[in-house]
C-alpha cells in the first residue's frame, strides 16, 4: 500500500470515528436532539462505542478469512477511538445524567447490572489505551503486551452484554451486535484450533500445547457465554408486542366488586385510560 493510500484511509477512519461527535454537535446547534436529549446523546455515543470496538476486533478476522493484512494497521487507532467514545459516553452519564451525584451513581452501579458490566468494560479498556504506544510495547515486552491486550475480547463481550441487558424487549439490534461479536471471536477460535492441530502434528513441546489448550478453552467459554446470553434473552424478545400486531386482551374491575371490564368489550368506544402506581 502506498503512503498516500495509507494517509487517505487513516483520514477516513478519523472521519468515521468522529462522525457521532460531529453529528451530536450539529444536532445541538440546530436544536435537534429530540424530546430526551440526554438519552439521545448517551445512546448515540454508546452505539458508536460498540461499533468502533467491533470494527477494531474485525481487523484480524479479515486477515484470517480473506488474507487482507493492511487493516491490522488501523486496529490501534480504532481501539483508541473506542476508548475515547466510551469516555464521552461515561462522561454524559456522570455529568448530564447524574450531575456528579456520587451516592446515586454508586447505587446505580450496584443496582443495574448493565451499568456494572459497562463500567467493567471501560475499566478494562483503560490499561489498553494507556499501553498502546510503541514505547509501552517495548517496556512491557511483546508477549506480556499481547497477553494484556487480549482483555479487549473481554471488553467486547461485556459491551455486548451491556447492550443486551439494557435494551427493551422486542429490540433485535443487541442480538445482531452480539452475533457479530460471536462470529468475530469464533473466527479467531477456529483459526487458533486449526493452528493448534497443525502444531500438534509438528510435535510441539507438551507445555506449549497445554497453554494453547487453556487459551482455547477460555475463547470457547467467551463465545458460549455470548451465545447463552443471546439464547436466554431471545424468547423474551419474541414475546414482545410488535407494530401491527393486535394488543392483548386487558381485563379488570374499575371498582371493588364491580363487574369486570374487558378491552374487547369496549371496542368502538372512546376510553380514557389513566395509569398510576404506588412508589
**3-state SS, residue 167:** coil
Question: Could you identify the residue written with the cell 429490540?
Answer: 171
Q: Which is nearer to ligand HEM, 3 or 168 (CB)?
A: 168
Q: Which of 20, 89, 157, 189 binds ligand HEM (CB under 6 A)?
A: 89
Q: Which residue is nearest to ligand HEM (CB)?
A: 46
Q: Which of 166, 193, 196, 212 binds ligand HEM (CB under 6 A)?
A: 166
Binding mask of the shown chain, residues 237 to 266, with x at each position contacting ligand HEM by CB under 6 A: ------------------------------
- Minimum CB separation of residue 225 from ligand HEM in Å reads 16
Residue 266's contacts (CB-CB under 8 Å, 6 or more residues apart) are none
C-alpha cell at 89: 459516553
Residue 122 touches ligand HEM, criterion: CB under 6 A: yes
Residue 128 touches ligand HEM, criterion: CB under 6 A: no
Give how many residues touch ligand HEM by CB under 6 A: 22
Query: How many Å apart are CA 81 and CA 76, to the nearest integer?
Result: 9
Q: Which of 39, 165, 179, 220 binds ligand HEM (CB under 6 A)?
A: 39
What is the CA 12 to chain-centroid distance, rounded? 22
C-alpha cell at 10: 487513516
Question: Could you identify the residue written with the cell 510435535?
Answer: 203
Residue 119 touches ligand HEM, criterion: CB under 6 A: yes
Q: Which of 9, 13, 43, 216 binds ligand HEM (CB under 6 A)?
A: 43
Residue 47 touches ligand HEM, criterion: CB under 6 A: yes
> Residue 43: which of 96, 81, 80, 105 has the closest Cα?
96
Query: How many Å apart are CA 109 and CA 101, to the nearest integer?
Result: 12
Residue 219 touches ligand HEM, criterion: CB under 6 A: no
Query: How many Å apart are CA 45 and CA 85, to the nearest integer?
Result: 6
Amino acid at each position: 500500500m502506498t503512503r498516500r493510500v495509507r494517509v487517505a484511509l487513516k483520514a477516513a477512519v478519523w472521519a468515521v470515528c468522529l462522525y457521532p461527535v460531529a453529528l451530536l454537535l450539529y444536532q445541538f446547534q440546530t436544536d435537534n436532539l429530540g424530546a430526551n436529549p440526554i438519552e439521545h446523546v448517551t445512546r448515540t455515543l454508546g452505539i458508536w462505542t460498540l461499533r468502533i470496538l467491533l470494527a477494531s476486533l474485525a481487523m484480524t478476522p479479515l486477515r484470517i478469512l480473506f488474507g487482507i493484512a493492511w487493516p491490522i494497521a488501523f486496529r490501534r487507532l480504532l481501539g483508541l477511538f473506542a476508548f475515547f467514545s466510551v469516555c464521552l459516553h461515561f462522561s454524559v452519564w456522570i455529568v448530564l445524567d447524574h450531575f456528579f451525584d456520587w451516592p446515586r451513581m454508586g447505587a446505580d452501579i450496584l443496582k443495574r447490572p448493565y451499568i456494572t458490566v459497562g463500567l467493567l468494560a471501560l475499566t478494562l479498556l483503560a490499561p489498553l489505551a494507556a499501553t498502546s504506544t510503541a514505547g509501552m510495547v517495548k517496556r512491557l515486552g511483546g508477549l506480556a503486551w499481547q497477553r494484556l491486550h487480549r482483555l479487549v475480547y473481554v471488553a467486547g463481550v461485556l459491551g455486548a452484554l451491556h447492550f443486551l441487558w439494557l435494551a427493551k424487549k422486542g429490540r433485535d439490534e443487541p442480538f445482531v451486535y452480539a452475533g457479530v461479536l460471536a462470529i468475530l471471536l469464533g473466527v479467531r477460535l477456529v483459526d487458533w484450533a486449526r493452528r493448534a492441530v497443525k502444531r500438534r502434528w509438528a510435535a510441539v513441546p507438551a507445555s506449549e500445547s497445554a497453554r494453547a489448550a487453556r487459551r482455547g478453552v477460555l475463547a470457547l467459554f467467551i463465545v458460549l457465554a455470548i451465545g447463552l446470553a443471546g439464547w436466554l434473552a431471545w424468547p423474551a424478545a419474541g414475546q414482545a408486542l410488535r407494530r401491527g400486531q393486535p394488543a392483548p386482551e386487558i381485563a379488570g374491575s374499575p371498582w371493588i366488586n364491580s363487574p369486570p371490564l374487558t378491552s374487547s368489550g369496549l371496542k368502538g368506544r372512546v376510553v380514557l385510560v389513566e395509569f398510576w402506581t404506588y412508589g
